[in-house]
Structure 1
Amino acid sequence: MKWKNQLTGMKPYQPGHSVDEVKKMFGLNEIVKLASNENPFGSSPKVNEFLDKLSTNHAIYPDGYASGLRHALAESLDVKESQLMFGNGSDEIIMIISRALLQPGVNTVMATPTFSQYRHNAIVDGAEVREVKLNKNGSHDLQEMLRQIDENTAVVWLCSPNNPTGTLIEQAELEEFVQKVPKEVLIVLDEAYFEYINEPTYKNSTELVKNHENFLVMRTFSKAYGLAGFRVGYAIAQEELIFRLDPVRAPFNNTVLSQAVALIALQDTSFLDECKVSNEIGKKQFEAFASAHNLHIYPSHGNFVLFEVKADSDFVFEELMKRGYIIRSGNALGAPRYIRVTIGTQQQNEDFLVNLLDVLVENGVFA
């Protein structure tokens, strides 16, 4: 078969072990999954009520325009309905952008480490990948990213809060960067964790959309809204940009159920507020632990933390899994000797940190 040359040696995305797998592997009855930045409080109770009373004809295709959700979200964001594009999660939005703009002979600029799918899709589409190391504080080096842009650059990817560090791009730096990027280069700002941001100086990036035709924002219902299993992501940009991208989108890419539950979740703002408050409390638990044990921790604005363990990340990952905790090893994220942990409930965090300390003490990290 005539495979693309760039697919040689590529591996599919590795999501990590499932809860059932870990139970079987170690004979455990209970597992706490803190690996994928899901909402530990689930989704809105109103979503659960809807699902309990569900009566849907699954033989009928979904609304290919996601009209109900589109109308409500446009109203919530104060944008036109034609400024939105929905994806099967943000992953599909990334794939749509890559398919539309990336090809052999062009390049794309991104930070490292950051969300792996920017690089993955760029390679699939044959583009040159230009990666710029994060600053020591875990933030994007925007000045170096600007230097990497040339006449062949098609897309620049920004992730704020950045995955895996959780760091935020400062508002003034973001605005200056967007002003300096050539208008023919698409700037993508991935805000998967937008709802968790608790920084007063950080403005709503939809304001930048109004003034820049080459600026696109990605967000999702998978994280704070607790709907990861329903796969609903969306893009916000000026109408012409959405119009050019939308033909790449697969028809009927959001199911009947996903559109319905996303609409319900969007309207339950009190649940979202409660999750944000709980996330801040949980974040402080991890920060206090890191401070008490002299471990470096990145200042996270998401629902996860990346912090130092002063030991092999894979070893710590394996030892914690034996104890019933699934996390992410920093080795897999470009951050050796660090681990990334989803912020759970207060009790989950407390129990996890007790087990982590036991692992580190037993293996000589701490006396």
Structure 2
Amino acid sequence: MYWKPILATMKPYTPGRSIAEVKRTYGLQDVNKLASNENPYGSSPAVTDYLQSKADQFEIYPDAFTAGLRTKLAEYHQVDPYEILFGNGSDEMVTMISRALLQPGTNTVMASVTFPQYAHNAKIEGAEIREVPMLENGDHDLEGFLKVADDQTAIIWICNPNNPTGNLLTSKNIKDFLDRAPKTALVVLDEAYFEYVTKPEQEDAINWIHDYDNLIVLRTFSKAYGLASFRLGYGVTNKENMAELNKVRNPFNNNTLALAVAEVALEDQQFLQDCVTKNHEQRKRFAAYAAKNSLSIYPSETNFVLMEVPMDADEACERLLQHGYIVRSGNLLGTPGYVRITVGTEQQNTGFFEAFDQLLTNK
């Protein structure tokens, strides 16, 4: 069979270990998954109420236009309904954008340590990948982006806040970059964790889509809204870009229940803000813990932190597993010597710090 040759050099995504698997392997009763940046407080109670009462016509295809959610989301963001594109999670948004713009002879620019699906999709499409090392503090080097971008640059990826470091670029820095970036390159501002940002001066970049014709902003219902299992992400850009991207979108790419529960979740902004407030308070505990133990930690504006470990990251993950805590090794993320930890509930984090204390005393 005629597989693309590049596939021989690639590996599929490696998911983290499940709670059930860790319980079986280590004989544990209580296991906390802090590896995938899920919302530890779940989703809005209104979503549960809806699912318990809903009996849809499951033989009918979903609404391909996503009219209900599209209308409510357009009102929420104050944009035209035709300026929103939905995907099966942000992952599919990345795939659609890559498929529409990347091909042999083009290049794409991204940070050296960022969401891996940008590079993964570029390889499949045969585009050149230009990775720019992140700055010492973990920020994207936007000046470096400008130096390597040229008239063959099709996509520039900015993950803000960045995964896996959690770093947030200021609105001013991003606007300055957009003013100077090649107008022929689509700038993808991936804001999967935007709802967790607590800096009041940070602007909503969706308001910029009419100022910059080459900008698309990505958001998701998987993180702060707690709907990861429903796989629903979206992008906001001008109608011209949307028309092209819709050509590569699979028909009926969002299922009926996902669209329905997202409408319910969007309406419960109080639940969302409660989650953000709790996350902010618990995130500060990680910064304090790192400072107390002289551990390096990146300045996060997300629901996860990237923190130094006193040994090889894989070994640290293994030892934390034995205590019932699943975290993500920095060896998989391009940040050896660190682990990425989802900010859990107060109880989960207290237990995690106790488990981490064992790493510090038994190196």
Common fold by TM > 0.5: yes
Q: State the shift of 1:151 in Å.
A: 1.6
Aligned pairs for 1:109-188 within 5 A: 109-188=109-188
Q: Which residue identity is paired with 2:97? A: I
Distance 1:122 1:187 in 2: 15
Aligned to 2:256: 256
Q: CA deviation digits over 1:211-248, x for unaligned, max 9?
A: 11100000000000000000000000011101111110
Checking the alignment, whether the CA contact within 8 Å between 2:151 and 2:184 is kept in structure 1 is: no
Distance 2:18 2:66 in 1: 31
Aligned pairs for 1:345-356 within 5 A: 345-356=345-356
Query: TM-score when scaled to structure 1?
Result: 0.98
Q: Which residue identity is paired with 2:183? A: K
Distance 1:266 1:155 in 2: 30
Aligned to 1:196: 196
Q: State the shift of 1:124 in Å.
A: 0.6
Query: TM-score when scaled to structure 2?
Result: 0.99
Q: State the shift of 1:8 in Å.
A: 1.2
Query: More deviation in 245-254 or 200-209?
Result: 200-209
Runs of 4+ in 1 over 2 A off after TM superposition: none
Aligned to 2:243: 243
Aligned to 2:74: 74
Aligned to 2:2: 2
Checking the alignment, whether the CA contact within 8 Å between 1:101 and 1:155 is kept in structure 2 is: yes
1:226 aligns with 2:226: yes
Checking the alignment, whether the CA contact within 8 Å between 2:310 and 2:359 is kept in structure 1 is: no
Aligned to 1:296: 296
Q: State the shift of 1:359 in Å.
A: 2.1
Q: State the shift of 1:360 in Å.
A: 2.3
Checking the alignment, whether the CA contact within 8 Å between 1:281 and 1:346 is kept in structure 2 is: no
Q: Which residue identity is paired with 1:240? A: E
Checking the alignment, whether the CA contact within 8 Å between 2:304 and 2:342 is kept in structure 1 is: yes
Aligned to 1:332: 332
Q: CA deviation digits over 1:123-181, x for unaligned, max 9?
A: 01110000011101110000001101012110000000000010011111100100111
Q: State the shift of 1:352 in Å.
A: 0.4
SS in 1 for 2:210: helix
Q: State the shift of 1:20 in Å.
A: 1.1
Q: CA deviation digits over 1:240-275, x for unaligned, max 9?
A: 101111110000011110000000000000000100
Instruction: Give the aligned CA root-mean-square deviation in angstroms.
Output: 0.7
SS in 2 for 1:137: coil
Q: Which residue identity is paired with 2:184? A: E
Aligned to 1:208: 208
Distance 1:261 1:112 in 2: 36
Distance 2:28 2:58 in 1: 37
Distance 1:36 1:52 in 2: 26
Q: Which residue identity is paired with 1:110? A: M
Checking the alignment, whether the CA contact within 8 Å between 1:303 and 1:342 is kept in structure 2 is: yes
Q: CA deviation digits over 1:265-298, x for unaligned, max 9?
A: 0000000010011001110110110010011111
Q: Which residue identity is paired with 1:349? A: N
Q: State the shift of 1:64 in Å.
A: 0.7
Distance 1:65 1:18 in 2: 35
Aligned to 2:15: 15
Can you give the 5+ residue segments of structure 2 that lack an aligned partner in the other structure?
none
Can you give the 5+ residue segments of structure 1 that lack an aligned partner in the other structure?
none
Aligned to 2:102: 102
SS in 2 for 1:247: coil
Aligned pairs for 1:316-327 within 5 A: 316-327=316-327
Q: Which residue identity is paired with 1:111? A: A
* Number of residue pairs the alignment of both structures matches: 363
Aligned to 1:84: 84
